[in-house]
Structure 1
Amino acid sequence: MSMQLGATDRETRFAHLIEAIMNKNMLPEDRHEIAALLESMGWNDGRAQEAFGVADIFELAAEIWETIKRRVVTTAFAVNEQTGVAATTMQLVKSFLRGVIFALPMALSVISMLTLRFSLWSYQNLSVELATCIAIGTIASFIVVGGYTQAIARRGFFYISQSYYNMARKVTFQFIRFGYVTAGVCGLLLLVANVVFNLFPMAMFLYIILYFFFLTSIWLSVTVMYILRRELTFTGLIVIGIGIVYVLFQVAGWDIIFSQLVAILVVSVAGMGLVLYYFNQAEKKEEKGIAPKLTRLPIAVYAIMPYFIYGFLYFTFLFVDRVMAWSANESYMPYFIWFRGEYELGLDFALLSLMIPLGVCEVMVNKMMLEVEASYKRYWGFEAGLMNERFQQIYVRMLVIVTAVSAASAALIFYLMLIFDRMYLASRGEHLIASNTTMFVFVIGLLSYVILAIGLMNSVTLFAISQPELINKAIVRALLVNMVTGFLLSRWIGYEWAVFGVLAGSVVFTLLSYRSMRQVLGKLDYYLYVMS
């Protein structure tokens, strides 16, 4: 009886392994490619021997190869079944909501500022000194951990997609530890620079470091919740954090900075605790068996490095214009960076226009990748050219849709801001958009983000086809254009003209990523083979 159960257990594990192999490549070339796929999934000789009683990984690959060949011979070529309209619609709606919900915390923060005059980490009536501290801490936190958020998303989701939640937890917290260590090293370097060059008074520097570390913890936890599909949980944490600030600041009468730091600490600790809880719950449902071993760290770092670089470059691109604007030497500059609220307010309002396009991009890319997966069965090998042409046409439709949605979203946000401005004036006797500088930055920012949304669609698509290097080439050049344009115009004309750096960089990024998309789609069959 025990021998029979053992044989059945082996057959089940073997069938699951074949499915995992064929999900990566439905038609592997030979047993050697299967061996390579097994190694990429964490298999080695010891694990193969323990799980299936084979001598090494090559013997296991040969057994899988023979089974797949029998499947190919005995399975007729057929057009894949079409997904029902209701199921397809539901899947697309979920994709849209997933893209929108990711940007929801940002929207909640802006709404909180409009209604309560404070959010989890900002306050309308702060002194410029304190606003400068919070701004520097916030930007530094995004840039320092931006690469780690991409690494967590890529590597963690790799294991989650195979239902290896235990391994996903291990690799996720490995990168989280690296993120904290990097933040600590950067904080120490900032301290040394501040002591040597006397950049800020120590009281201001302390605020910078506190916001930097606490926000770093929040960004790391939100990334894990995203790959676990718990975006609404983090949105709820933001709401709770704002509620804590309200109680401590408005009800208890505490200092706003202390209230925010307490709230951020609670949110960051709660976020990490919930991440552990969700992983533990998922691991309880995980199929028991011989778990894969973590990929050796040097190999994992090499594989994830392009995505890490993109995360760093992307957040640097988003914030470098602010550094250019805030460091422009105007009539009063007590420190080398001096926060300018009129500039920040315009960009914050403009950033809301990305919410709907992000949701649409998620839908478009998911739909395209479903079509790519279906094309494995829909086209013969000699029809690769036809497949490439079809996806070029699909891409053109995606461009038209995302461009139209982005433009409509920008127009909607502009109209809503004008309405809110009138409401603000009626209720408080002051304008929401109180200066020409804010309106100038707001309009140019809207135009920039309309163009950037197209580039982001290209980047998500190229990530899905495992071509991060092409996106990195585009964003490096876009970042340089952003920096140079913003620096020169902010010095030659006025600090608010740094926003043209965002516009110029967005144009360059979108054009270069468009060229990369055309290159990939022209030889899509080749890139899909490389990806598999």
Structure 2
Amino acid sequence: MDTVDRYNELSAKVIAQVGKPQGLLVVYAALESFGIRNQDTKEDYGFASLQDLAAAIYNQIVAMPAEDVKNTVEKKEQSTQAYLPVNEYSKVKLNWFAKYYGLGLFYLLPIFIQVFAIIYFNYSLWTYLKFNIVQSTAVVLGVIFGFVISGGFVQLMGRQAFFYWEHKKYAKTRHLIYSYTQAGIKLFLVAVLLLFLINFLLHWFPLPFMFVLCGYTFMLATLLLTIAPFYPLKKRWAVTITITLATVIALVLHEGFKMHVYVSHFLGLAAAITFNLAFTWYFFRQKIGADKKEYERPSKIKVFYNNYPYFFYGMLLYVFVFMDRIIAWSANWTNNFKFPLLYEKNYEIGMDLAILMFFALVGVGEYAIAEFSRKLDQNQKGLASTDGKAFGNHFKKLYRSHILILWITAIISSVLIYILVTEPWGYIAKFGEELATTSMHVSIAGALGYIFLSWGMLNVLYMFTLNVVRPSLRALAIAIVVNFCCGFLLSRAFTHDLSVYGMLLGAIVFTILTYKHLHNFFNRLDFHYSAAY
């Protein structure tokens, strides 16, 4: 075999491994991985150095048609997957999108089960349609506080446990999950006692009201905390099982044994928590057995210090999501109970319908981040300072295709939600009345707000992939201020339902700020990738 044949064979080998290279150094690294040395290039390939050989192959490949420079993985995907043109920048693989969008919806199955239970039984694991207005206020406030105080722990545990799990540090993962579950439960008890103390000093609500509120706060926060390990352990399907079983138990206790709704709820939530803990123990038992050897245990303080931005992001995200409700409820001073805030049915119905939009867009986020991570892995050898701009531009194009998909999905979902609300077989058939004007108005503005919130959260997830979190935390803090100020002023100057525009404007600000940070993130993507790995 002469030098020309060797060169052609080597060029084909490089194409099979890297496809179209992002830069010269990608080819250079591939040649080194083949075991080719600088001193071999003159005799075997007719080039004075490895650098010259790499340059020749690189120039040859970039001049070839795109269809001729697909690597082995890309050729396999092309033969097994269909393509859907999206825009002039990129193509989205149908199979890839269907897989991850479906996966995102599957992870929401526990929520869909609750919706199903509410529609057909007027009852779910923590809600009941026959609550009076005071009971609804106590329970929904408890649910809100439960999400807020657990959100930080869920983010922190998920982030650090995922890191340990991916690096096969299973004993560390187990210790982290167990220790932070215990710490979280203790903190939830402190939070509940603090709520009692504040109410004792300010006399906002009667004592029975506070027992209900704090009971739901503690139980739901603990439930969310015990669900959190399933995400880093990649066992999210277990959530569907535990929530379904617990819902059935609570429903049987309430409907079959005529147990009081509070008691049946608490027993159902306790069952779900127990199932979650049992599943977590079983998964670790299967993975590492009854290993009782002493391992280096991660310090809770050190873990918190390394992840505190994620903790506060998780907590503040729920503050943002629920703030408009609190503002709307507290704007209605005509109630006869003289509470500082009171559940507003029509507003809540509107926001419940609006959040269907958020659920519909979850799958887009799953798909977008999966493809972004895959592209990063495929192009990691192109991370050189000389290629940084081209590398960042490549992912900007990918990002634009993801945003287009998000808006297409949002438009389709809007049509479906509108049909569900307005057709006789939909909302009217179940509840026996048309949707109130206030609810319709709130649902439209709220749905638009959730579209922008989903967009902003997608921006954040891109940056989270490479451990860039502080810009997103600042953007969220600013969005909360906008949400509060605009919602408060509008609801006090006009009507209570206008607080939804605080949420909408806050979501738009959040999207704009995170987009700005993401643009800078893409401009320095090579640096962020190197820093993360």
- The answer to whether the superposition gives a TM-score over 0.5 is yes
- Over aligned residues, Cα RMSD in angstroms? 2.7
* Cα offset, 1:98, TM superposition: 3.4
With 299-308 and 380-389 compared, the bigger mean Cα shift is at 380-389
Match of 1:327 in 2: 330
Name the structure 1 match of 2:342: 338
Distance 2:139 2:36 in 1: 62
Alignment of 1:245 onto 2:250: yes
Range with greater deviation from structure 2 (289-298 or 479-488): 289-298
Deviates most, 94-103 or 390-399:
94-103
Q: Give CA deviations for 1:396-436 in whole Å, capped at 9, x if unaligned.
A: 222212222223223322222323x54454466x12x5411
Question: Does the 8 Å contact 2:428/2:435 carry over to 1?
Answer: no
- Are residues 1:386 and 2:387 paired? no
3-state DSSP of counterpart to 2:231 = helix
How far apart, in 1, do the equivalents of 2:505 and 2:228 lie? Answer: 29
Match of 1:130 in 2: 135
Residues 230, 280 of structure 2: 8 Å contact kept: yes
SS state at 1:222 partner: helix
Kindly state the Cα deviation for residue 291 of structure 1 after the two structures are TM-superposed.
8.6
For residues 249 and 227 of structure 1, the distance between their equivalents in structure 2, rounded to whole angstroms, comes to 34
CA distance in structure 2 between the aligned counterparts of 1:280 and 1:71, rounded to whole angstroms:
43
- What does residue 57 of structure 1 align with? none
Paired residue type of 1:471: S
CA contact (8 A) 1:346 1:442 kept: yes
Cα displacement string for residues 55-103 of structure 1 (whole angstroms, at most 9, x for unaligned residues): xxxxxxxxxxxxx9x9769368899642532498766554333322333
CA–CA distance in structure 1, aligned partners of residues 259 and 504 of structure 2: 41
- The reply on whether 1:313 has 2:274 as its aligned counterpart is no
- Which of the numbers 73, 76, 79 marks the counterpart of 1:82? 73
Shift of 1:205: 0.8
Say yes or no: does 1:484 pair with 2:475: no
Contact conserved, 2:227 with 2:239, CA < 8 A, in 1? yes
User: Following the alignment from structure 1 to structure 2, what is the Cα–Cα distance between the partners of residues 296 and 216?
Assistant: 23
Q: 1:166 to 1:343 in 2, by over 3 A?
A: same
Paired position in structure 1 for 2:517: 516
2:283 maps to 1:282: no
Distance (whole Å) between structure 2 residues aligned to residue 94 and residue 291 of structure 1: 41
Percent identity between the two aligned chains: 24
Shift of the alpha carbon at 1:529? 1.8
Scaled by the length of structure 1, the TM-score of the pair is 0.81
Q: Does the aligned pair in 2 maintain the 1:159–1:168 contact within 8 Å?
A: yes
Please say which of residues 205-214 and 173-182 is displaced more in the overlay. 173-182
The corresponding residue for 2:494 is: 493
1:362 Cα shift?
1.2
Does residue 207 of the first structure (1) align with residue 212 of the second (2)? yes
Residue type at the aligned position of 1:475 = L
More moved, 505-514 vs 175-184: 175-184
Partner in structure 2 of residue 218 of structure 1: 223
Aligned AA (2:73):
Q
Map 1:130-529 to 2 at 5 A.
130-284=135-289, 293-334=296-337, 335-378=339-382, 381-419=385-423, 422-423=425-426, 425-426=428-429, 430-431=432-433, 433-529=434-530
Q: 1:75 to 1:479 in 2, by over 3 A?
A: farther
Structure 2 residue runs without a partner (length 5+) = 1-28, 38-53, 59-69, 82-92
* Separation in 2, partners of 1:181, 1:241: 23
The one-letter amino acid paired with 1:388 is G
What is the deviation of 1:446?
Answer: 1.1
1:147-188, CA deviations, whole angstroms, 9 ceiling, x for partnerless residues? Answer: 000001100101111222221111112221221121111111
Distance 2:372 2:202 in 1: 52
CA contact (8 A) 2:139 2:212 kept: yes
Match of 1:22 in 2: none
Equivalent pair of 1:80/1:374 in contact (CA under 8 Å): no
Distance 1:399 1:329, change over 3 A: same
Alignment of 1:43-62 (within 5 A): none
Residues in 2 aligned to 1:129 and 1:267: alpha-carbon distance in whole angstroms: 26
Q: So what's the TM-score if we normalise by structure 2? A: 0.80
CA displacement at 1:487 relative to structure 2: 1.1
Task: Give the aligned residue type for 1:82.
Answer: V
Query: CA separation of 1:290/1:404 partners in 2, compared to 1, >3 Å: closer, same or farther?
Result: farther
Distance apart, 1:496 and its partner CA: 1.2
Paired residue for 2:24?
Answer: none
Mapped contact 1:224–1:275 kept (Cα < 8 A): yes
Counterpart pick for 2:118 among 108, 113, 117: 113
| 8 Å contact from structure 1 (residues 248, 259) kept in 2 | yes
Gaps of 5+ in 1: 1-67
In the comparison of the two structures, how many residue pairs are matched? 460
Q: Which entry has the higher C-alpha Rg, 1 or 2?
A: 2
C-alpha distance in structure 2 between counterparts of 1:493 and 1:210, whole Å = 35
Residues 96 and 426 of structure 1, relative CA distance in 2, 3 Å threshold: closer
SS of equivalent residue, structure 1 residue 227? coil
